[in-house]
Structure 1
Amino acid sequence: MKQNKSTLIDDEAKADPSDLMRQFQTGNGGLSQAEADKRLEKYGPNTIRQGKRQSELIVFLANFTSLMAILLWVSGVIAMFAGMLELGIAIWAVNVINGCFSYWQQHAAQKATDSLKKMLPAYVKVRREGQSRQIKVEQLVPGDIFDIQAGDSIPADARVFNAANLEVDESSLTGESVPVEKLDAYQHGDGEFAQRNIVFAGTICTSGTATALALATGMDTEFGRIATLTESQKKTVYPLERELNHLTRQLTIIAIMIGIAFFLLAIFFVKYPVTKSFIFALGMIVAFIPEGLLPTVTLSLAQGTQRMAKKHALLKNLSSVETLGQTTVICSDKTGTLTQNQMTINHLWLPSQAYDVTGTGYVNNGQIQLNGHQIDPATQPDLEKLLINATINNDTEVTEGKAGEKSKILGTPTEAGLVILSRKAGLDAAAERKRFPRLKELPFDSGRKLMSVITKTSDGMLVINTKGALGSELKICDRILDNGHIRPLTADDKSKILQVNEDYSKQGLRTLAFSYRVVDGDDPLSHQSLESCTIESAEQHMVFIGLAMMSDPPRPEIFDTVRNCQRANIRIIMVTGDSPTTAKSIATKIGITSDKVRVISGVELDKMSDAELQEAVKGEVIFARVAPEHKFRIVSMCQKNGDVVASTGDGVNDAPALKRADIGIAMGVTGTDVAKDAADMILTDDNFASIVSAIEEGRTVYSNLQKFLLYILTSNVPEAAPSVIFLLTRGLVPLPLTVMQILTVDLGTDLLPALGLGTEKAEPGIMDQPPRPLNSHLLNRSIIWKAFGWYGLIASAISTFAYFFVNHVNGWPQVPLAGSGLVYAEATTITLAAIVFSQIAAAMNCRTQISSVFSIGLFSNHRILLGILVEVVLVALLMYVPFLQGVFNTGPLNGSEWLFLCCIPVPIFLVEELRKYVVRQIKHHQTKAAD
């Protein structure tokens, strides 16, 4: 006996039932319990094994071992070594708090999504030793005979026997929204998983019954094969993590180079002792390390995740927010993501009239809109005949869901669409079925592709109502209902009907045809009993009524979402298991592509080399009838082109691609647990529009990090300027700013306003820009110029002026500059305070890059306002608290000096507003000239 592999499925589907039974050493009575126990020990339990996860301790410690975190640990050691124990402990505290917060965010998200492998049913009814038994699904083994009925999840890959009206929803594997009919006999349709007499683990029986022989269980099923492929993929490092590592290396090199330079200059230029020079250099290194970067990044990402959670998007990793902001391509499946995953009737065609049925969704609004107008079907007999047929020749029930929930379907989506159509027309299904009681049903089968019911009218007449495939209907119809009159069905009529069907098919619509026949006294059937009535005697000489066209409609919000993606220069590539015609129709309808789009099928894709596929995904393309490996390969080729890829999905078949993508996005409502586990983000309302909101959040996070970086680098220039003056004057000018005061700015006054910048809302026009290039960096030329050549120089000039001004008031240059005492303390204090008040203006200026701060609200960011208040209070405490005066070498300032400080932010802010205005005017004229 052999376990099932994907290459053997077709052989086992073709095998004779008796041969297959012998192969699996079983029979109609099933396995013996002893044999079942042996096989359970051999093949293991029927479960999908989870990949190995890191221990919670390792996951926890990982939050403290990033390059930036390591740099902060080292910074703390340096501060302690320099004799600044309090600052060293403070730096470590920042690291500990940030790491704990990051771990808590990850743990909470993981807990919310840790429900992998719940698709298999808890119990299954099997035959053991000739008796029917209910066992736990984990105990099912290859060779077991088990029962299937409507509502069951299929527990294993299995060969079907004794199928009666069996239909299975395979959308979790194939992406196809319409249930697939399953048969006893072998048939092979299009694409993978297309054997009609094979059912697959993880799919759902929507109607009918059958018995089945388990061919494969657990990880040997197709479900397990995909799970294995998913687990084998290692998640790539998020772009933000790579960028932060790059930035950390940059800043580390800059800080060390500055420290070495200051160390050498202090020794050879100023003739400082080696020990004092070393401590001086260490202080400068610590000063140039952005201690607030890591908590700011975490807070910015956390704020983004919280805003996204309110918009029904759950992020499992904080860095996912920023990755979306860099996304250039979204590989999206169709069913349930771009569409609603519900069949909706949107056109009706009768020989006398064509109707455009408006309105979508499972909604009972008690009316039908035809061609934009409310119609009473009772006034149009042809239409009423079709609607009654659709209502009584129907086995599906649709129950109204609770507020905010979809209606629930017990049956097939196609029949559910007919039920809703009848409701919209104002028909009461229960009343109609009572008015036309069903006497006999001739169930649907794939051979004739029809379903009929025989009903009785109030006057005792028998009526046969039939629905099914158009080709099958035309074979049994010899008459046609035309504007209330029955006439012969001519060759021209058939030609016209077929042309209508072709026209609708080009729009990606599925067609269902309807016919009926009244059994009068001249009808041979009137002389037979219902028991002797056969399909052949009933389904003949029918009257053709018309056609109902249906589709899985696009989500209402998808149209705006697609336009927003295009505005942001983000391409959407549809990757679906549905047919090429349907895929192209939906894609062009919602605006993803033009009608000239290239449609590549799974069969064609198999023949393409990687180079050919890599070139194909650069253009306007759709992929249809694809297998799990196909979507995975498509994502990979997009990444090879340099794209940052977000991949959406809801089925088991989507999981490998979700894991491979830069960011995987799973549907929370319709998505399988396997897809959710593989994804980075889960849309809890399955709303595709939430992706665009996440992209905006991601861009905002990155922009905020650049604002933060600009802000902290701005303070580094006036912090370094006093030391440069000290060195250039060979120590004649005492240090205008002490090392402790420098670190006070970095870890004290700068931190809260910087964190406030990390929570700034999106700047106007952020979604009108293309995604940032992969080779772009947080620390770019624009930031360097603004920090060192604009904001920094202004703050340096003001703080240096303040230092010399205080000394001038106290007698300089007649009196030499003091290196200690009250005058020195006052001079260093006003230098420190001038930097802080310059940073107040910088905090406000950094809130926007080009737009005026007034356009987003001068006082709209309360965290920045709080941070400004705190830093002013902190400076005041340093000035007036005796203990702090001794630690930080500060002294009190008088009223005129405070007035000077309060005047600093206003001109700096207004000058920057003027610069932004000039930049906006230049850009406006450039855009106007280009147009």
Structure 2
Amino acid sequence: MKISEDHTTPAIAAPGVSAPVRDPREGMQALLRDLRARPSGLSVEEAVRRRAQYGPNALPEKRGAGWASALVRQLIHPLALLLWGAAVLAWLSGTPPLAVAIVAVVLLNAALAFWQEQQAERSVEALAAFLPPQAHVLRDGHRVEVDAVEIVPGDVILVDEGATIPADARLLDGAVEVDMSALTGESVPVVRTAGESDPDAQLLHVPDAVFRGTQCTGGGGRAVVFATGSATEIGRIATLSQGVERKDSPLEQQVRKVAWLIAAVAIGVGVAFLPLGLLAGLSLSAALVFAVGLLVANVPEGLLPTITLALAVGVRSLARAGAVVKRLSAVETLGSTTVICTDKTGTLTANRMQVHQLWTPHVDIRTASEIPPGDGHVAALAEVLGRCTEATLDGDHSTGDPTELALLRFARTHVPARGALRIAVHRFDPRLRRMSTIDRGTERREVSCKGAPESVLPLCRLTAAERATAESVVAQLAGRGLRVLAVARRPLGATVPADRDAVERDLILCGLVGLLDPARPSVAPAVETCHGAGIRVHVVTGDNPLTGAAIARSVGIGDDDSAVVTGDVLAAMSDEELADLLQADGEVVFARATPEEKLRIADALSRRGEVVAMTGDGVNDAPALRRADIGIAMGASGTDVAREAATMVLTDDDFATIVRAVEAGRRVYDNVRKFILYIFAHAVPEIVPFLLFALSGGAIPLPLTVLQILAIDLGTETLPALALGREPAEPGLMDRPPRRRKEGVVTRRMLIRAWAVLGPVSAALALLAFFSVLWRAGWTPGAETGAGSPLHSAYLEATTATFAAIVACQIGTAFASRTERVSLFTAGLFTNRLLLIGIVFEVVFTAALVYLPPLQSVFGTAPLDGWTLALLCTFPPIVWGADELYRWVGRVRARG
């Protein structure tokens, strides 16, 4: 697009695109020329033209998939497909009510997952909250208030104290102090001054640039807008965040693999054994019944709802502990976490500045907490801090800059508030980097002054040696990551000078104060627990490297030899160098990290096979929170952007809650394995009767019917499986290393327990019950047991005995599944009350099917005699005892 020289419209971008003209670090005159802007602002007509050309000052929006496709995805999930198959099989087997029940389970699970997904994606909408609804601009040389969406490149905005910056801009005049924590993570406000430039600085550190979504905490001035909408830093982060696709959690990946494995086995077994039944001499109808029975026996109809409800229980327990999880699978992801990348401000720290160390000409550097109240050596310093402030302390109603509130709290600890008449105040000037007040006490007028050491020390009456000492102390405190302020005073005569320079001279140095946003008391124990659990913790912050390293060491992250990598150094690293850094033992502090660099760190860790949890609270954290396996945002101090991008929100902003969440995630995953073991173990006693029927060529009647299998899978099995999802954590849960990302939810040891211990023992006991009834009735192999035959009633009682025997073995399997390695006596026999309730239910349910005539006719059952019932009572301890022996052998081998 070519523009004539006298045209006032800047050649910035194509219509509808809001973008910066060129690098905003160029000279101001060049920027004004390229923007076709004037210090007096645009005309109204020109603003309207640019609004039409570049579009609104709004964040980019990305439309996701429609709700219909999202819902369909939940209906064709692998486990859902298995349940659809089970419903078809139930219908084909002549039990429409069971088919309807299975379909209801599929629809219920799909609706729950769909709702979770729709609630989880709100990042861009939250970013919009950082655009103030209105702003002040110059139009035709006059100050006017406009909607923030109407601001265009070239506008001159007016930046006042307390205002939120509506677009990215550079100062034409004035100086401001800006809270940049939402973009950089740095807790200390930064100064931006017109006329200063640094062509080599990173964009966020350009000395005269202010950015959309940040807040002016002091000063004022005019600024020319160079970027709006998606071209702003926040807009860029929004675009970056939208481009990050969520990955399936480890559990989702493993469950999908297990589901397809089960489907393949079920179909394969059914298809393979259909001709086997025909070869064994079965009729076609009998062979079909045989194949359908194998399919039904291999499909765990209750697996999907059991996993979903177990995760939902984990979500509720975490919410009570202060962690709100937005995706059910995130509960399990927490349990597999191997690396935590944590922000500093508001995460490791409370985002609440306080005086940490101080120095006076009479007192060497001391920690503030070690100085008793009323110490005379710090009284003068505290007196000045109490006067030289515009903050007020009033409990929850305190007002003022966080730094001033911290200084005022320290002052009130060491000197009482004294009545003094405020005569004048010279507010903080970002260019001068100091403030002063003139107060009249009971005896005299006095000037109180505080500010940056390089601003205040030259105004003090100091000898060369005293100045050198003070500057050395400043270097020491700054080297410890502290924000350093100099405090001074001087008596004033009866005349109060009107000129600020005349007031702020010939000062007497009271001392130096070092402020720090301290670590939360709960963080250090939480970090220690993480280390015990085999989890490494890296600090990834936009803050000062000295401050980040100091806070990290104070909570036990790394040590004095740990690497501290700044954003510039990280940007210069190759992917291989970054991988080597992360591969090495120890923990790293990444400082001055940009959103892209946080993403790069998360990607590098993920390529190494790590399961990454990323914490954050600022706008700049949103892309990394989305990319990580689990993003953890701060609920109280964090931004809406971070909360919406994350999969988990800490309502108490406590790092220790992450550790509790990791423990809960490990417990949930263990419990998922426990009820999968419980379900898998039942496949053997359900399949063996059909194999016996087929291999005998029908000489042995079918010991279990298809309807009875469905009654087990959807009736007696469900509540105990759910109860296993509520099992308390096993001892030593947080003393073992995280499981590997590729480690399956189904392990070799689990299959051995299910298919070589619990399953065969249960199958043998079930067949024992079946044959004991038939033999006592005089049955011999090949004898007729069909309807109308003399042995038909005995056959019905025998199949009922098989059904009841499997249920009895389920009870033993449920107790055995409660622990993976330790003895059940260590965990406690009766510590899971829900399991006891589930067992009572399945016993009552089984009794109803066995003894109620209406259900007898549906499920083909018959009453059992006392001898059979007594035999069944021995089955649970036999099954549990066999597994207890297997686990004891495993513990002995592990110790040996």
Normalising by structure 1, we get a TM-score of 0.89
Q: Kindly report which structure 2 residues correspond to 1:405-554, keeping only aligned pairs within 5 A, or say none.
A: 409-411=399-401, 413-425=402-414, 427-428=416-417, 432=418, 434-435=419-420, 437-445=421-429, 448-459=432-443, 461-479=444-462, 489=463, 491=465, 493-519=466-492, 530-531=497-498, 533-535=499-501, 537-554=502-519
Q: Residue 639 of structure 2 aligns to which amino acid in structure 1?
A: T
SS across alignment from 2:439: strand
8 Å contact kept, 1:121–1:154: yes
2:283 maps to amino acid: P
Query: In 2, distance between residues paired with 1:857 and 1:354?
Result: 59
Task: Specify which of 254, 263, 282 is matched with residue 243 of structure 1.
Answer: 254
**Is 1:94 equivalent to 2:105 in the alignment?**
yes
Partner-residue secondary structure (3-state), 1:182: strand
Q: Cα offset for 1:729? A: 2.4
1:370 alignment partner in structure 2: 370
- Tell me, in whole angstroms, the C-alpha distance in 1 between the residues paired with 2:605 and 2:18: 27
Where does residue 707 of structure 2 map in the other structure? 740
Quote the residue 1:729 is aligned against.
696
- Does 2:249 correspond to 1:253? no
The answer on whether the counterparts of 2:540 and 2:591 sit within 8 Å (CA) in structure 1 is: yes
Structure 2 residue runs without a partner (length 5+): 1-9
The whole-number CA distance in structure 2 between the counterparts of 1:540 and 1:699 is 63
Aligned-partner SS, 2:51: helix
Match of 1:390 among 360, 385, 401: 385
- SS at 1:665's partner residue? strand
**2:70 paired residue number:** 59
User: What's the offset of the Cα at 1:784?
Assistant: 0.7
Question: Is contact 1:78–1:286 with CA below 8 Å preserved after alignment?
Answer: yes
2:639 to 672, 676, 701: 672
Change beyond 3 A, Cα 1:356–1:293: farther
The answer to whether 1:331 aligns with 2:341 is yes
Distance 1:196 1:356, change over 3 A: same
Rounded to whole Å, the distance in 1 between the matches of 2:165 and 2:486 is: 31
Residue in 2 aligned with 1:686?
653
Check conservation: 1:119, 1:672, Cα contact below 8 A. Answer: no
| Alignment check: 8 A CA contact 2:348 2:520 kept | yes
Contact 2:19 2:231 in 1 (8 A): no
CA shift, 1:443, in A, is 4.1
The equivalent of 2:293 in structure 1 is 283
Q: Distance in 2 between matches of 1:448 and 1:199?
A: 19
| Distance of aligned partners of 1:423 and 1:690 in 2 relative to their CA distance in 1, 3 Å threshold | same
3-state secondary structure, aligned to 1:118: helix
Question: Structure 1 stretch 632-641 or stretch 450-459: which is displaced more?
Answer: 450-459
Q: Distance in 2 between matches of 1:539 and 1:832?
A: 94
Contact 1:191 1:627 in 2 (8 A): no
Superposition deviation, residue 356 in structure 1: 4.7
Counterpart of 1:565 in structure 2 is 530
Report what 1:843 is aligned to: 814
Match runs of 1:268-347 below 5 Å = 268=279, 270-347=280-357
Alignment partners' CA distance in 1, 2:321 and 2:11: 49
The answer to which of 812-821 and 313-322 deviates more is 812-821
Deviates more, 1:141-150 or 1:906-915: 906-915
Tell me the SS of whatever aligns to 2:264: helix
Given that 1:156 and 1:200 are in contact with CA atoms closer than 8 Å, whether structure 2 keeps it comes out as yes
Partner of 2:565: 600
Q: Cα deviations across residues 154-191 of structure 1 (Å, max 9, x unaligned)?
A: 11011223325x21101111111111112111234964
- 2:720 aligned to which of 730, 753, 770: 753
- What is aligned with 1:210? 221
Q: From the superposition, tell whether residues 449 and 128 of structure 1 become closer, same or farther in structure 2 (CA, over 3 Å).
A: closer
Cα pair 2:123 2:642 within 8 Å, conserved: no
CA deviations 1:79-118 (Å, max 9, x no partner) are 3234343333232222122222333444556689964421
Return the alpha-carbon distance in structure 2 between the equivalents of residues 806 and 887 of structure 1: 21
1:265 corresponds to: 276
The equivalent residue for 2:5 is: none
Q: How large is the RMSD of aligned CA atoms in angstroms?
A: 2.6
3-state SS of 1:877 partner: helix
* Residue of structure 2 in register with 1:482 after alignment: none
CA shift, 1:7, in A, is 11
Residues 502 and 129 from structure 1, CA distance in 2 versus in 1: closer, same or farther, beyond 3 angstroms? Answer: closer
Q: Secondary structure at the match of 2:768?
A: helix
> Residue deviations 1:878-919, cap 9 Å, x none?
112223222222101123322322332234334544554554
Q: Distance in 2 between matches of 1:659 and 1:887?
A: 52
Paired AA for residue 384 in structure 1: A
Distance 1:827 1:356, change over 3 A: farther
Are the structure 2 counterparts of residues 256 and 791 from structure 1 closer, same or farther at C-alpha, using a change threshold of 3 Å?
same
Tell me: CA distance 1:443–1:94, structure 2 relative to 1, closer, same or farther (3 Å). Answer: closer
User: What residue number does 1:364 align with?
Assistant: none
Partner SS for 2:193? coil
Q: CA deviation at 1:21?
A: 4.2
Instruction: Encode CA deviations 1:112-157: one digit per residue, 9 max, x unaligned.
Output: 9964421111111222233332222122222222222222211101
Specify the code of the residue in structure 2 equivalent to 1:416.
Answer: L
The whole-number CA distance in structure 1 between the counterparts of 2:514 and 2:285 is 87
CA–CA distance in structure 2, aligned partners of residues 573 and 894 of structure 1: 66
Please say if 1:128 is aligned against 2:123. Answer: no
Partner-residue secondary structure (3-state), 2:75: coil
Give how far 1:540 is off. Answer: 3.6
2:28 matches 1:16: yes
Contact between 1:355 and 1:370, CA under 8 Å: does it hold in 2? no
The answer to whether residue 606 in structure 2 is matched with residue 639 in structure 1 is yes
Residue 363 of structure 1 corresponds to none
Measure the CA separation in 2 of the matches of 1:60 and 1:815.
52
Instruction: Judge conservation of contact 1:330–1:573 (CA < 8 Å) in 2.
Output: yes
Kindly indicate whether the alpha-carbon contact (under 8 Å) linking 1:184 and 1:197 is maintained by their aligned counterparts in 2. yes
Deviation at 1:833, TM superposition (A): 0.3
User: Separation in 2 of the partners of 1:507 and 1:9?
Assistant: 40
- Deviating more after overlay: 251-260 vs 544-553: 251-260
Return 735-744 or 906-915, whichever deviates more: 906-915
Please, which of 214, 219, 222 is the counterpart of residue 233 of structure 2? 222
Task: State, as a whole percentage, how many aligned pairs show the same letter.
Answer: 39
Work out the CA distance in 2 between the residues paired with 1:902 and 1:457: 91
Distance of 2:21 and 2:355 partners within structure 1: 36
Compared CA separation, residues 266 and 636, structure 1 to 2 (3 A): same
1:478 match: secondary structure: coil
Q: Distance in 1 between matches of 2:399 and 2:873?
A: 68
Change in 2 beyond 3 A, CA 1:112/1:837 = farther
The answer (yes or no) to whether the contact 2:20–2:231 under 8 Å persists in 1 is no
Cross-structure match for 2:800 = 829
TM-score (norm 2): 0.93
Provide, for residues 606-660 of structure 1, a one-character-per-residue CA deviation record: whole Å limited to 9, x for no partner. 2111111111122332211121111111111111111111111111211121122
Match of residue 592 from structure 2: 625
After alignment, is 884-893 or 500-509 more displaced? Answer: 500-509
Q: How far does residue 256 in structure 1 lie from its aligned partner after superposition?
A: 2.1
Q: 1:193 to 1:408 in 2, by over 3 A?
A: farther
